[in-house]
């Protein structure tokens, strides 16, 4: 479970995230939905301990991101936005490198790497250097890398960005599979349809604040709108008028 309580983060004079709170439960897919620059990436960066929050706290699997960053990192796998691979290493080597840095060695490491390569259907190009991979292939390898230590929590920042229809479809099926395995999946997106199709719980973020949270149905009811897109627009404009 991921619990976020009132985190704020500012860069100089820009307040990127203001007192954001939400909860992402195990066995569910939670989506951070918001326009570009809403603070989704900053929130995720605080959660995967690359940034420290100025205020508030967040816990992943019970570990505090401020006090026990290493435990948080062990408990989750992250796919940052535009995550790059090492072009001179093969797909398998890229994945194994992360496995080793997670403390896996020997036969256990090989088992995990082989398993994740099977699961993400990377086998075909696992022994090739990642230089010249398509965006879809790169995303799959980056995701495999993030999952190599079998984390309970999976954080994905705009995972479908730059993917074609087939790759997007494959990725969605994979995210649903992670959910069915009982993992806690938190992903960000600026595409409403994607979040609607995939997420059990939606956190609408705008101007660094949470505009609304709930299941798609709850949100429709609360805003008395049958169209989620309208919900999205109204939630965002409501925040904009408040600030």
Partner 1 sequence: MSRWWTVVRKELLDNARDHRTLASALLFGPLFGPIMFAVLISVVISQTVADVDSPLELPVIGAEHAPNLIAFLERNGVRVKDGPADLAEAREAVRSGREDVVLLIEPTYGERFVQGLPARVQLVQDQSAQRAARNVNRARSVLNAYSGQMRAMRLQARGVSPQLLQPIVIDDIDVSTATGRASLLLGMMTYFLLAAMLMGGLYLSIDATAGERERGSLEPLLTLPVSRSTLLLGKIAATCCYMLLSLAITLLAFSVALSFVSLEALGMSANFGPRVVVVGFALMAPFVLLGAALMTLVASFTKTYKEAQTYVGVLIVVPTLPILFAAFLSVKPTAALMTIPSLSQHLLMTALIRNEPIDVNFVAISVVSTLVIGALVTWLATLFYRREGLMG
CB of 171 to partner 1, least distance (A): 17
Six-digit token string for 75:
């408990």
CB of 8 to partner 1, least distance (A): 15
> With respect to partner 1, which residue has the nearer C-beta, 82 or 182?
82
Q: Binder to partner 1 among 6, 35, 62, 103 (CB under 8 A)? A: 103
The whole-angstrom separation of Cα 215 and Cα 200 is 6
| DSSP letter assigned to residue 162 | T
> With respect to partner 1, which residue has the nearer C-beta, 68 or 114?
68
> With respect to partner 1, which residue has the nearer C-beta, 17 or 206?
17
Q: Which of residues 137-196 bind partner 1 (CB under 8 A)?
A: 142, 145-146
Please give the size of the binding site for partner 1, defined by CB under 8 A: 36
Stretch that binds partner 1, among 49-57, 188-196, 221-229, 230-238 (CB under 8 A): 49-57
Which of helix, strand or coil describes residue 22?
A: strand
Q: Beta strands of the chain (E only): which ranges?
A: 2-11, 14-24, 29-33, 55-60, 63-64, 76-79, 153-157, 184-189, 201-206, 209-214
CB of 68 to partner 1, least distance (A): 11
Q: How far is CA 208 from CA 9, 24, 32, 66, 154, in A?
A: 9, 18, 12, 20, 22
Degrees to nearest 5, angle at CA 98 with 61 and 82? 85
Asked whether 29 and 72 are in contact (CB, 8 A), the reply is no
243 sits near partner 1 (criterion: CB under 8 A): no
Q: Which residues bind partner 1 (CB under 8 A)?
A: 45, 48-52, 70-71, 73-74, 76-89, 93, 97-98, 100-103, 105, 129, 142, 145-146
């Amino acid at each position: 479970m991921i619990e976020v309580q009132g985190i704020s983060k500012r860069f100089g004079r820009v307040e990127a995230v203001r007192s954001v709170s939400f909860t992402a439960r195990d066995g569910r897919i939670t989506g951070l939905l918001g326009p570009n620059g809403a603070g989704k990436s900053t929130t995720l960066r605080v959660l995967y301990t690359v940034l420290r929050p100025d205020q508030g706290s967040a816990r992943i699997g019970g570990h505090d991101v401020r006090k026990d960053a290493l435990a948080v990192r062990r408990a989750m796998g992250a796919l940052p936005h535009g995550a790059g691979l090492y072009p001179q290493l093969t797909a398998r080597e890229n994945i194994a490198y992360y496995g080793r840095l997670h403390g896996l060695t020997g036969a256990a490491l090989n088992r995990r790497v082989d398993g994740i390569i099977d699961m993400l259907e990377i086998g075909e190009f696992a022994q090739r250097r990642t230089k010249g991979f398509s965006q879809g292939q790169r995303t799959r390898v980056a995701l495999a890398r993030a999952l190599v230590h079998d984390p309970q929590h999976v954080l994905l920042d705009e995972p479908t960005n730059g993917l074609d229809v087939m790759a997007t479809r494959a990725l969605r099926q994979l995210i649903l599979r992670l959910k069915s395995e009982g993992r806690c999946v938190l992903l960000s997106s600026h595409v409403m349809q994607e979040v609607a199709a995939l997420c059990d719980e939606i956190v609408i973020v705008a101007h660094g604040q949470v505009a609304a949270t709930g299941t798609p149905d709850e949100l429709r009811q609360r805003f008395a709108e049958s169209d989620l897109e309208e919900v999205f627009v109204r939630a965002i404009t409501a925040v904009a008028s408040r600030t």
